[in-house]
Amino acid sequence: MRISIFGLGYVGCVSLGCYAHLGFKTIGVDISETKVKMINDGVATIHEDKIDDLIKIGRNQQKIEATLDSSYAVRNSDVSIICVGTPSTPNGHLNLDYIFNVCKEIGEALKLKNDFHTIAIRSTVFPGTNQKCSKIIEEISGRKCNSDFAVVSNPEFLREATAVDDFFDPPYIVIGSSSQKAIDIFKSIHKDINAPVFETSIEVAEMIKYVNNSFHALKVAFANEIGRICKKQGIDSHSLMEIFMADTKLNISPYYLRPGFAYGGSCLPKDLKALKTMSHDLYLKTPIIDSIENSNDSHIQLAFEIISKYNKKNIGILGLSFKSGSDDLRNSPMVTLAEILIGKGFNLKIFDDEINISNLIGKNKEYIEAKLPHFTNLLYNNIDQVIDDSELLVVAKKSYENYLVNVNSKIIIDLVRMKKTTDFDYYEGICW
């Protein structure tokens, strides 16, 4: 397998050296004569731990070469990996000109080549870029995508200063393409790297890097806000966060990271509000912590907008307490949603077999009576009646999915990501 790499900057140079180390013959391509000369002299184009030795060894073993001639690189390789820059524009978009220019060059080169060629986009790009690149190459080359060539989205997860180690020990390898042949080629290229491989859709592969980096930025900023609050009160923020991070069951874990409906309950809203008040009393700016409740409220409003756009007045709500296995209605986002719907003139019927009106006591009872004064008239103990009498059903608990088998005439609004979402004629998820 021969690999050409377009762009000899950070990602390209690391990829060139690391693929050569894995035993592949590699050709680096760049418009910079200086970078091409450096690689051919056995010198890395970047300052990065371990890459100098990899480039030097690869060059000495004749596994690495560099060229200005993109056509030569494509004709003498089986796979082309695009690693050119995608800088930000003044309005926050990406400048994809370098990507598209490389695709045009690859398209021209493919006119002179009959063998199947795989092109991988490793640069960070917006969803939809893979499709645009495929069309550019098709139009210029006259070749057919997924027959004569294929485009793979294969994002990189390299950090500066540890890029070589990250290449050989990534958290995972993500491969998205509409060509199974191209996916299999990329899986074989990475067979000696010990990491889980996720074979996914093109759009997911294009999006994952943005999610990763945004979450990393969020973690840094959140930890710093906690640090500011701690410093004001003489609390050791590092000791605090060490304990926080020791909880790998909930805190540092997959929990709470599944898109769904808003949070609620007696703890999260109360404690978040208390932390916001603490920060305010200390005269600190903590915009991330301050904005969490606003984001949650926006999600509830989104659910209302989805429901209301269908112009159906008879609404069935399946699940009202803030989570399965509980009858706690305090700060349940479903109670808030029901309150909004009633206020806008919708007719509601509610089913939740975990709620027994006669068992509601104390704060739980006070809360629901204040939010939904006629709650006893809205709650039904027969789910079939709620389903039959409703034009639109809002599913807020997964346990009720089985009751919806063969319910095809109703609009289904899913807040929990049911398993069998394709069984309905009219279906919409809140964020999928």
Token output for 401: 């999915």
Query: How many CB atoms within 10 Å of residue 361?
Result: 8
Question: Residue 161 contacts by C-beta under 8 Å, 6 or more apart in sequence?
Answer: 48, 49
Query: How many CB atoms within 10 Å of residue 131?
Result: 15
145 forms beta bridges with 149
**How many angstroms from the chain centroid is the CA of residue 385?**
39
- CA-to-CA dists, residue 373 to 335, 347, 361, 367, 394, angstroms: 12, 15, 15, 10, 21
- Helices (H), strands (E): how many in the chain? 16, 14
Question: How far apart, in whole angstroms, are the C-alpha atoms of residue 193 and residue 22?
Answer: 9
Q: Closest by alpha carbon to 3, among 42, 32, 29, 33?
A: 29
Sign of CA dihedral 176, 178, 184, 189: negative
- DSSP, collapsed to helix, strand or coil, labels residue 198 as strand
Q: Which of 83, 133, 145, 267 is catalytic?
A: 267
Question: How far apart, in whole angstroms, are the C-alpha atoms of residue 400 and residue 380?
Answer: 14
Please report where in the chains the tokens 């930000």 appear, as a residue: 88
Question: Residue 274 contacts by C-beta under 8 Å, 6 or more apart in sequence?
Answer: none
Question: How far apart, in whole angstroms, are the C-alpha atoms of residue 349 and residue 320?
Answer: 11
Phi, psi of 315 (to 5 degrees): -110, 130
Token output for 85: 């820059």
Is residue 332 within 8 Å of 264, Cβ to Cβ?
A: yes
CA neighbours closer than 13 Å in the CB half-sphere of residue 94: 16
Active site residue 13: no
Edge to edge, what strands does the sheet with 2-6 contain?
64-67, 25-29, 2-6, 79-82, 117-121, 149-153, 173-176, 197-200
Active site (catalytic) residues: 267
